[in-house]
């Protein structure tokens, strides 16, 4: 039996297999609203056999968007279009998840295919906030100087995560993930490469962890205990003086204590010179998930240039992670699980929806 195609039960949710669609920004929303693009993008992966589908980074506030075209859950009007999508995903056997996010000092940017440079307010951009008053990339694409957050700003953002979590439940999501990686707001509080504060949210590891832990605890109080809660971490900053895997093992232990069920293990992105997960080898990236799983005694999801069926199956079978997340490979092939089943010799007639499986299964 393939490990990749075994079920996984997390709380009251059961994944039909260990294949997950990693959250991928589509930059295709208007005022944060989902539309037909999202229905096709997410729905096709459910039809194609994914066990878990995590919707793209979904902003908890307008100023928390990476670009003006990001998905959002900062108001109730954004719930209804998502209900249709999550219902369709569940109808076709996938567990719908959502990643709640705040971009921090990396917000207010143009879409990547439009250059990705931060927009001025006159160009449709907006003010940014961060734990620091320093720009992400002063001489590059992201030169906007953020406001250094005070206690009122921190409490406002934490409440925004709580309210977005409530809307996520109403929208039909069954797994909630908090984005605390890639240099976005929650990661930037934790990383010593960014956080230069001298108050209770800066300095020591415990103080730098405070923003994420407080936010997670508040979200867990409104997110039902029966449903899984995940956090995406940058498990290494890949730079001297930055976060190490040992720091993130400790963070994972703390997160488990406040009710987190599974860690999504990415890496990098804290600063303009900190490499991302794709800059290293797959083994490096998966190894981070394996170490957190082993040393923090918590389930993990592995991500980072996973493309082949045998590769993904070995990650699960060897106990390095509990879920294999794919991103770019899923853009190439929404029916990747069917192809993986063929490669692994797994009975494939129930992998994809019957409307397709009848003809090709």
How many CB atoms are closer than 10 A to CB 19? 31
Is-contact 105 129, C-beta < 8 A? yes
Secondary structure of residue 229 in the 3-state scheme: strand
Q: Is 184 a catalytic residue?
A: yes
Question: C-alpha angle 137/276/16, rounded to 5°?
Answer: 135
Give the 3-state secondary structure of residue 59.
Answer: strand
Cα–Cα–Cα angle for 287, 291, 294, rounded to 5 degrees: 135
The one catalytic residue in 184, 201, 330, 338 is 184
Closest CA to 82 of 44, 55, 109, 64: 55
As a whole number of angstroms, the distance between CA 338 and CA 309 comes to 10
Q: How many CB atoms lie within 10 A of CB 337?
A: 27
**Which are the contacts of 108, defined by CB distance < 8 A and separation ≥ 6?**
63, 65, 67, 68, 118, 119, 125, 126, 127, 128, 144
Length of the chain as a residue count: 361
**Straight-line distance from the first to the last Cα atom of the chain, in angstroms, rounded to the nearest whole number:** 19
Torsion of CA 306, 310, 311, 315, to 10 degrees: 110
Residue 113: partners with Cβ closer than 8 Å, 6 or more residues away: none
- DSSP three-state, residue 148: strand
* Residue spans of beta strands (DSSP E) within the chain: 8-10, 13-15, 19-21, 52-59, 71-72, 95-101, 129-130, 147-148, 175-180, 229-234, 262-266, 299-302, 323-326
In eight-state DSSP terms, residue 337 is H
Residues identified as active-site: 184
């Amino acid at each position: 039996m393939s490990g990749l195609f075994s079920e996984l039960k997390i709380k009251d949710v059961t994944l039909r297999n260990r294949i997950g669609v990693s959250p991928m920004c589509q930059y295709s929303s208007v005022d944060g609203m989902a539309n037909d693009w999202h229905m096709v993008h997410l729905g096709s992966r459910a039809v194609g056999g994914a066990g878990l589908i995590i919707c793209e980074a979904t902003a908890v506030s307008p100023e928390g968007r990476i670009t003006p075209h990001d998905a959002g859950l900062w108001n109730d009007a954004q719930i209804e279009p998502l209900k249709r999508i999550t219902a369709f995903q569940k109808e076709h056997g996938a567990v719908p998840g959502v990643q709640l996010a705040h971009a921090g000092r990396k917000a207010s940017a143009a879409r990547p295919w439009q250059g990705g440079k931060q927009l001025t307010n006159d160009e449709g951009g907006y003010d940014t906030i961060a734990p620091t008053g320093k720009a992400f990339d002063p001489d590059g694409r992201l030169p906007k100087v953020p406001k250094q957050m005070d206690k009122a700003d921190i409490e406002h953002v934490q409440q925004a995560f709580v309210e977005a979590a409530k809307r996520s439940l109403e929208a039909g999501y069954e797994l909630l993930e908090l984005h605390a990686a890639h240099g976005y707001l929650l990661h930037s509080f934790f990383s010593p490469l960014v956080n230069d504060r001298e108050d209770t949210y800066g300095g020591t590891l415990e103080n730098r962890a405070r923003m994420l832990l407080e936010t997670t605890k508040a979200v867990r109080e409104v997110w039902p205990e029966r449903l899984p809660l995940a956090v995406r971490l940058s498990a290494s900053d890949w730079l001297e003086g930055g976060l190490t895997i040992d720091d993130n093992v400790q963070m994972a232990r703390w997160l488990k204590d406040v009710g987190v069920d599974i860690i999504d293990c990415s890496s990098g992105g804290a600063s303009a010179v900190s490499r991302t997960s794709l800059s290293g080898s797959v083994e490096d990236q998966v190894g981070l998930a394996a170490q957190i799983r082993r040393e923090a005694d918590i389930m993990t999801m592995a991500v980072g240039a996973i493309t082949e069926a045998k590769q993904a199956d070995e990650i699960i079978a060897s106990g390095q992670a509990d879920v294999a997340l794919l991103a770019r490979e899923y853009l190439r092939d929404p029916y990747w699980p069917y192809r993986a089943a063929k490669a692994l010799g797994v009975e494939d007639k129930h992998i994809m929806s019957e409307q397709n499986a009848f003809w090709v299964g």
